[in-house]
Homo-oligomer: A and B are copies of this chain.
């Protein structure tokens, strides 16, 4: 575990960690909630399945409110034609092809008609995917981010969401990782510099009032 006490002092003194808040229109971005990342034998960890369960009512709330929903999947070409440096660092990623079991969205959170499916080959959901302009056209100013892993594709997506000037929110009980140390360390970094970090219920309560 990161000892956050010491860090908190430094960051507070330097005036980090302010809130960017919830804007006028939220979109929910479900990052890599696919079979291969809830499976600890493949890319997952023990806490990701819990994040899936906690996300179910959140997704339902977005659908009920008619707010935009985005699902990302890691999808490489069947013939490895789009192999990249990420695959050199983590070779099993190449197994995540269009029809592989591991790259299908988990059944509990399966996309419905009109929701955007982003196929990606990098860490960030925004990197070379057109996600930013899709959100832009739909009037979104706030990116609500859930999925896995906290220290990987969540962190990369959150940094980009902020860089693309979205108010960015991480739902801390709807993100999971393959190990707890990096999970907590990355929540700390994101809260200080890039995103507002809150529980699902605090977010839903704020959304109702907004």
A133 near B132: Cβ-Cβ < 8 Å: yes
B89 near A16: Cβ-Cβ < 8 Å: yes
Q: Which residues of A in the span 78-93 have a Cβ within 8 Å of any Cβ on B?
A: 79-82, 84-86, 88-92
Does chain B have a CB within 8 A of A167?
yes
**Number of A interface residues in the complex (CB < 8 A):** 76
Does chain B have a CB within 8 A of A194?
yes
Residue of B nearest to A196 (CB): B89
A108–B129 CA distance with the chains assembled, in angstroms: 29
A3 near B1: Cβ-Cβ < 8 Å: yes
A35 to chain B, nearest CB (A): 15
Q: Give the 3 A-B CB pairs with smallest separation, nearest first.
A: A185-B185, A128-B130, A137-B165
Contact with B along A22-49 (1 / 0, CB 8 A): 0000000000000000000011010000
